[in-house]
Amino acid sequence: MARTFVTNPLTGRTIQVGGTTFNRLTFEAYDYINGELVRRESAGPVPPREYYYNILTGRRVLAGGRRYYELIHANWDIEEDYYLIPPWIEVDVAQELMNGNRRRNLPK
């Protein structure tokens, strides 16, 4: 039997029909119609994704994602509910990095 795949409407990635992610999506808010996942009218709005800012890489990390849990299990801290701070960086250095990031993001 050949495996069937479909695009995950939340991420744009390919998932297997009948797989864990597919089953979760169809259980929560989607119907599988004509080979694609279609959001039910009765389903609530899609919640916005939450991100944290990695001060070392300058990249966003998806909350609840694989990388997020790797960093949390490695004892990284979350400061100001947004910044991911590694355990080996001192508080004053982290504060300076966070302040520098805020200055770069100010409107001109």
* E strands, the chain, in order: 5-7, 14-16, 30-33, 36-39, 51-54, 59-62, 77-79, 83-85
pLDDT range class, residue 37, cuts 50, 70, 90: very high
What is the percentage of the chain residues whose pLDDT exceeds 90? 51
Q: Taking residues 4-31, what's their average pLDDT?
A: 93
CA distance 56 to 54: 6
**CA angle at 89 for the pair 88 and 94, rounded to the nearest 5°:** 155
- Write down the pTM of the prediction: 0.58
3-state helix, strand, coil in the chain (%, to 5): 30, 25, 45
What DSSP designation does 2 have? -
